[in-house]
Structures are given as structure tokens and as C-alpha cells.
Amino acid sequence: MAKHIEVKNLTKIYTNVDKEFKAVDDISLSINKNDIYGIMGLSGAGKSTFIRMLNRLEEPSSGEIYVNGENIVELPKKRLLEYRRKTGMIFQHFNLLSSRDVKGNVAFALELAGWPKNKIEPRVDELLELVGLEDKRNVYPSQLSGGQKQRVAIARALANYPEILLSDEATSALDPRTTVSILELLKNIQKKLGLTIVLITHQMEVIRKVCNRTAILSDGKLIEEGSTKEIFLNPKNELTREFVSHIAPETENKKEKMKITGKQMLKLNFQGEQAEKPYISDMVKKYGLDVNILGGTIDELADDKVGHLLVEILGSDTDRNSAINWLKENKIEVEEV
Ligand SMILES: Nc1ncnc2c1ncn2[C@@H]1O[C@H](COP(=O)(O)OP(=O)(O)OP(=O)(O)O)[C@@H](O)[C@H]1O
């Protein structure tokens, strides 16, 4: 995969009164071309500061950001403007101009970029079709729903054929159903236009639905990074585990009880097609065991699925061990919890 954005030791220090505060603390990561790269963290983790440094709406205190191999931290003003034009951005509160109608809002980005007048209208029509708003071209933002406003903002962000789209909590102000439709739109335009999308969110659902790679931030630091599949399948950090919690509260109680009674609970991690195959019933038949199923989930990811099952396997130690080995031979991860 070709690297599109490479961030090296990026740090942002704010000075409040005379105290220094690291909002982003020495983050290094790589984003490939055509990724939908999710950055997740709690409020105050540094997500906004991080993404705003990617187009230098925020100036880094130190570190480098290579985009197609060029360090954009060092870009002179004119080149920075050009780069920003090729890096669209959408926001939680849409940032539309209330005095302009839908077509005027989209045209604004083209006017700023110096497009000739006769080329603006056909491009606006093309963009409105792309986001499904052809019939709203003469409507003002105050007459639009949140989802429609975000579609206008997306059309505007795509106006100058960007290679990168930055999304700053674009679905946070939307209801769940509208969130899904905007995420679907992002997924479609990514494919259609070959974009690289970087999005920040505090919702793991957003990551699950659209992102192929994910970074988790906490207190300005990168605490985990990898394919979304790996993060859902095998979260390493405590906080990531919490975000991807596969274990319902009642199962947590059972887990505590089992600890007290000395019983062993296993977590089985399935991926892709495995998540739908009847491994447990096959294992029961093969080894003559009993299995107590304590909980389970299947997470549908953007382009894959992962499943988790919490079980207690009842039988002799030898049969149990053989069954566990058989699961492992079938490439199912088995974890003692
Ligand atoms: N201009 C600023 N001056 C001082 N501190 C700031 C400034 N901007 C952000 N911060 C601080 O930096 C930290 C990270 O903020 P940031 O907005 O990047 O976090 P976030 O993860 O996007 O949070 P949220 O989801 O709440 O927006 C916070 O503690 C915030 O108070």
C-alpha cells in the first residue's frame, strides 16, 4: 500500500497562563492511500488538535507531516493554500453560510479557488448529484435537516477534487439513522473518487462501520493503532478493550463468579467467515463435551466481520485440551479470561 500521509513525532503544546500542556504528544503514524482512517478517543484526547494539524489549521509545535512525501509543516504560504484546496474538510456543525443557498454554498469553494464563472454551475450540479441533493439546490441551510446540511458540506469539501478528506466529528450532531446514511455516503465517495479519508470520532460505531484502520488516542498519546479488524478482534490496551467491549455487564458478573468458584471461562475470537460457522457444535460432537455459552457478539466491520464467544467447556482435562487445540488448529483464537 502506498503511504499517503506519514506523521512523525507530532506534538502540540498549548501554554495556559504559564503552564505548558501537551494536547498531542509525540504521535507517529502512517495513513495509506484510500484508507478510511479512524481516530478515536474520549473528549480531550487530542483528536481535534491532531486532525487540524493535518491541514495546518493548527500549527504543530514539533514533528513532521509528510503528504505524498512532502513535509507540509514546512510549506510556504502559497503552497499551503494549494495543499489546503486538495484537502477537503467537514465539521460537526457543518459551517455553512446561512446567507447563501445550497448551490451558493458549494459554489463558494470554487469561487475562492478562482474557477471561471461558466465552469462553476456545471461543477456544482455534478457535486449536488454526487451527494443526492439535486432537488435542494435553491434551498437555504435553515430549511435543511442536519443530514442534508452535512451533504452540502461534503459537496463543498469535494469541490476542488481533493485527494484527502478530513472529517472532524462529522456525524456527532446527527441522529443514528442519519449518521448511517452519511457514513454510507462517505464510504461511497471514498470508493468512487479514490479518496483518503481521515476521520475523528468518539463513537466506536463510526469506526466499526467505515474505517479500515484505526488509531486510539488518550491524553494526547497514541495508545493503539492497526487494522480495525485487529483492534476489534484483539484490543491490546485497557482503554481500547473498554471501547470495543464485547462483554455485556451480566457476563462480567458471571466472570467474577467463575473466578470465585475456580471455573475457567474462555473467550473465542472468530474472524471473517469463521464467525458464521458452527464450530461449537462440531467441537461438542467431536469431543463429547458440554459447552456452557455465557455470551457472544458478532461485529460487522466495514469490510469484514469478527465474532466473540464466551464459553465454559465442561469435560475431562484431556478432552478439554484436545478441543482447545482443535479450535486453535482451525485458526480460532482462544483466550483465557
Ligand atoms: N487553543 C487551546 N488552548 C489551550 N488548550 C487547548 C486548546 N485547544 C485544545 N486545548 C486542550 O487540548 C486538549 C485536547 O483537545 P482536543 O479538542 O484536541 O480534544 P478532542 O479529543 O478533540 O476532544 P473533544 O472530543 O472534546 O473535541 C484538551 O484538554 C483541550 O482543553
Of 37, 87, 23, 28, the C-alpha closest to 63 is: 28
Of 90, 51, 279, the C-alpha closest to 173 is: 90
Amino acid found at 285? K
Lowest mean pLDDT among 6-10, 37-41, 239-243: 239-243
244 within some domain? no
Give the C-alpha separation, 82 to 56, whole Å.
12
Ligand 1 atom with the smallest distance to the CA of 202 is 25
Give the C-alpha separation, 288 to 323, whole Å.
10
Residues 188 and 81 grouped into a single domain: yes
To which residue does cell 469431543 refer? Answer: 287
Amino acid found at 180? V
Ligand 1 atom with the smallest distance to the CA of 16 is 4
Q: 310 with 337: CB under 8 angstroms?
A: yes
Which residue, judged by its Cα, is nearest atom 11 of ligand 1? 23
Q: Ligand 1 pocket: which residues have CB below 6 Å?
A: 14, 16, 21, 23, 41, 43-49, 202
Chain segment 283-319, per-residue pLDDT in tens: 888 888 888 888 888 888 988 888 888 888 888 888 8
Measure 53 CA to ligand 1 centroid, in angstroms. Answer: 12
Ligand 1 atom with the smallest distance to the CA of 50 is 18
Number of structural domains in the chain: 2
Decide if pLDDT at 271 tops 70. Answer: yes
Give the C-alpha separation, 307 to 299, whole Å.
6
Q: Is the ipTM of this complex over 0.85?
A: yes
Chain segment 159-211, per-residue pLDDT in tens: 999 999 999 999 999 999 999 999 999 999 999 999 999 999 999 999 999 99
Provide the grid cell at 21: 500542556
Question: In CATH, what number is assigned to the domain containing residue 262?
Answer: 3.30.70.260
242 within some domain? no
Residues 63 and 104 grouped into a single domain: yes
Residues 28 and 52 grouped into a single domain: yes
Residues 184 and 263 grouped into a single domain: no
- Band of pLDDT at residue 244, cut at 50, 70 and 90: confident
Which among 204, 235, 266 is the end of a domain? 235
Residues 179 and 295 grouped into a single domain: no
Measure 43 CA to ligand 1 centroid, in angstroms. Answer: 8
Q: 157 with 88: CB under 8 angstroms?
A: yes
Provide the grid cell at 278: 458452527
Residues 118 and 56 grouped into a single domain: yes
Domain containing residue 155:
3-235
Give the C-alpha separation, 41 to 217, whole Å.
5
